Every structure is written in structure tokens, then in C-alpha cells.
Amino acid sequence: MSKQHKVLITRRLPVDVAARFDKDHDSILNQEDDRYTSEALLEAAVGMDALVVSSSDKLTADVLAKMPKSVRIIATVSVGYEHIDVEAATKHGIIVTNTPDVLTEATSDIGMLLLLAAARRAHEGQALVRDNKWQGFAMDYNLGVDLMNKRLGVLGMGRIGRALAHRAAAFGMKIHYHNRNRLTPELEEYAGGAVYFDDADEMLTTCDFLSIHSPLTPETTKFLNAERIARMPDGAIVVNTSRGGVVDDDALIAALKSGKLRAAGLDVYEGEPNIHPEYRNLQNIFMLPHVGSGTVETRNAMGFCAADNVDAVLTGKPAVTPLN
């Protein structure tokens, strides 16, 4: 492929992915990983044929209205695309793509890690050992709860939700789920014989554990609020690997402090990396820094998927994973 096309890449990419873009295109690589402001992004986009962005780049309708006419495709290296106004992009003739499928297994592995870590008080246990405060074995010390025979509610049964349910069923959990549409019998069977709830609020009343896999939309913003937490059984555990904005931080923190919720496991946060400061003061929460897709294999696959989309569109072919 000739290097006739100009591609702006807004975040640092894995080495192999960056090398491919550098080989195939006249690419601007952000090796310092500095985040672009909207103004800087628009300035840098002048003369570009393609933008490769991430969820940290906010491509609102206002930004897209000012986007240089040369830009033909915006490829986000993520599954979620709430940071891009796809309708506005379509209006201005810009194709938008994402990277579905390739991060399902890695993210569901992290979901399972969060379930186990929250249930077994991993944060507290590790701190005891690291801080040299462990006093030795005791029968009643730092006790967690089993996953076996517990009811797991899955909010959002897309690819990642189904993969998480499949894993959890192997631990003996009883799977319940809410989704916009009911799964086929075959997919329900794959997801551990999952039981469908048309009403998410009704499902919450059955959840010893809740794993959130919902995209962030106006309808799901702060879905898990104080009222819905109150519906859950006392001592339930909440895990989130989707988007931080689906959870009302103040409500979750209050429930963890009061004991209404036993524990939580979070990989995503509203406003990340500037998370709610009270999370850091809680011992009954296991936190990770948005690493759901953070394996070498998965991040490479995400980057290569974005590259495939850019290559296709810039050579006059249909995008591989278009959003519009």
C-alpha cells in the first residue's frame, strides 16, 4: 500500500500496530500519548484523510461540524462509541468505525476477576500482606462469600455479558439477565442457562451479584442509583466493566459504607482517571485502572481492526466494522 494517505493517531498505540500504520500510511503517531483538546485535534486534523481515536477523544456535533473536509473516516480503538456523535459524523459524510468482537474474552476475564476479588475481599487481604499486618491463619478472619449457587444478574447480554455469564456458570452461579431483547435459546444455554427478565428492576431483586455490561446511553446514565440499589438483596456485590457513567457514584459509595452492599469491583469510572475520591477510602472495593481489554493480544487486535477499517475506506472499500 502506498503512503499517499495521511492518518492522525491521537493516542499511543501498541508497537506492532503503530509500525503497521507507519508502514502503510503517512501517519502522525502520538508517541508521547499527550491528550488532544478539541481545538488541538481540529488543528491537527487539517489535511488528514483519517483519524484513529480513543474513548478519551470527545467528538461532539460541534467538533464534527468543524472537522476538515479531507477527513473520510474516524476509527475509534474501542467498542464503545458514546464519545462520538455518529449522527453528526454521518451528516458530514464521515464514516465511523469501532472494534467489536476482539476484546470480548479479555474483558470478560476481568469481569470474572472482579467478581472473585470482590467476593473474597482481595483488596483487604493483599493490603494485610503488603503492609505486614497479617497475623496468621484464623478461622473467622477476613471471610468472604462463595460464588457457588449465588444468583448473578447480568445487565446487558451482548458478547461480553454472555462470555462473563458463561464463565460464571462454570463457578456454579445461577445466571439471570436483562437485555433489550431476549436471547435465542441457544445463546441462553451458552450463557449458563440464563433466565430472562424483561424488567431490569425486577431482576435486581434477585441479584446476589450484579455485573454491568450496558453501553452508556441517555437511558442508562446513572442506571444504578440509590433507588435501584435499595431493590437489591442486602449484602449484594456489584461489578462494572462497561462504562463508569452507568453507576451513580454517590449512591454506590453510600451503599458500600452502610453495608447495604457487601462489596464492589470496578474497572471503569465516571470522569476517569479523575475518579470519585471517596472510592479510595473504602476497603470493600476492588479497583482496576480500566484494563478490561489490557492484554497484548487484545490491544493488538483492536489496533489492527482499526487499521483494517482505515485501509478499507481509504482504498474505496466498505468499512469492516462500520457504525453508520
pLDDT in tens, 209-259: 999 999 989 999 999 999 999 999 999 999 999 999 999 999 999 999 999
Of 228, 272, 276, 278, catalytic: 272
Which residues lie below 8 Å from residue 77, measured CB to CB, with a gap of 6+?
11, 13, 52, 53, 54, 99, 302, 303, 305, 306
Mean pLDDT (whole number) for 301-310: 98
Per the domain annotation, does 320 fall within a domain? no
What is the separation of C-alpha 179 from the centre of its chain, rounded to a whole number of angstroms? 17
Quote the pTM value: 0.90
Domain carrying residue 170 = 104-287
DSSP states of 118-162 as a string? HHTTHHHHHHHHHTT------TTSS-----TT-EEEEE--SHHHH
Of 213, 243, 262, 299, catalytic: 243
Mean pLDDT (whole number) for 108-127: 97
Least confident range from 27-36, 88-97, 109-118, 164-173: namely: 27-36
Mean pLDDT (whole number) for 121-138: 95
| Residue 160 φ then ψ, to 5° | -70, -40
DSSP states of 30-60 as a string? -TT-PPPPHHHHHHHTTT-SEEEE-TTS-B-
Give pLDDT, residue 3. Answer: 78
CA–CA separation, 107 and 102 (whole Å): 10
Mean pLDDT (whole number) for 142-158: 97
180 three-state secondary structure = coil
Mean pLDDT (whole number) for 168-180: 98
Residues 145 and 268 in one domain: yes
Residues 87 and 14 in one domain: yes
pLDDT at 169 over 70: yes
CB 181 within 8 A of CB 205: no
Residues 116 and 77 in one domain: no
Residues 95 and 158 in one domain: no
Residues 109 and 180 in one domain: yes
Give pLDDT, residue 184. Answer: 98
Per the domain annotation, does 168 fall within a domain? yes
CA–CA separation, 124 and 324 (whole Å): 46
Buried b (16+ CB within 10 A) or exposed e, 183-197: beeeebebbbebeeb
Give pLDDT, residue 2. Answer: 61
Per the domain annotation, does 60 fall within a domain? yes
pLDDT at 1 over 80: no
Per the domain annotation, does 324 fall within a domain? no
Cα separations (Å) of 68 from 72, 76, 91, 273, 282? 9, 18, 14, 30, 46
pLDDT in tens, 4-41: 899 999 999 999 999 999 999 999 999 899 999 999 99
Give pLDDT, residue 247. Answer: 98
CB 237 within 8 A of CB 261: yes
Residues 281 and 157 in one domain: yes
**Binning pLDDT at 50, 70 and 90, where does residue 75 land?**
very high
Residues 41 and 76 in one domain: yes
Give pLDDT, residue 4. Answer: 86
Give pLDDT, residue 50. Answer: 98
pLDDT at 312 over 70: yes
CB 199 within 8 A of CB 206: no
Our count of domains for the chain comes to 2
43 flagged as catalytic:
no
DSSP 322: B
Q: Which of 71, 56, 168, 70 is nearest to 111 (CA)?
A: 168
CA–CA separation, 310 and 297 (whole Å): 20
159 flagged as catalytic:
no
Give pLDDT, residue 157. Answer: 97
Residues 130 and 269 in one domain: yes
Residues 174 and 196 in one domain: yes
Per the domain annotation, does 321 fall within a domain? no
Mean pLDDT of the chain: 96
Please give the grid coordinates belonging to residue 168. 460464571
Give pLDDT, residue 194. Answer: 98
DSSP 70: T
Residues 173 and 28 in one domain: no
CA–CA separation, 37 and 58 (whole Å): 9
Angle at alpha carbon of residue 75, lines to 240 and 299, rounded to 5° = 50
Mean pLDDT (whole number) for 32-51: 95
CB 304 within 8 A of CB 77: no
Mean pLDDT (whole number) for 38-66: 96
Cα separations (Å) of 151 from 88, 205, 227, 265? 41, 10, 20, 16
pLDDT at 91 over 70: yes
Residue type, 313: V
Q: Which of 303, 301, 302, 314 is nearest to 95 (CA)?
A: 314
Residues 178 and 233 in one domain: yes
List the CATH number of the domain containing 136: 3.40.50.720
Per the domain annotation, does 323 fall within a domain? no
297 flagged as catalytic:
no
Residues 171 and 81 in one domain: no
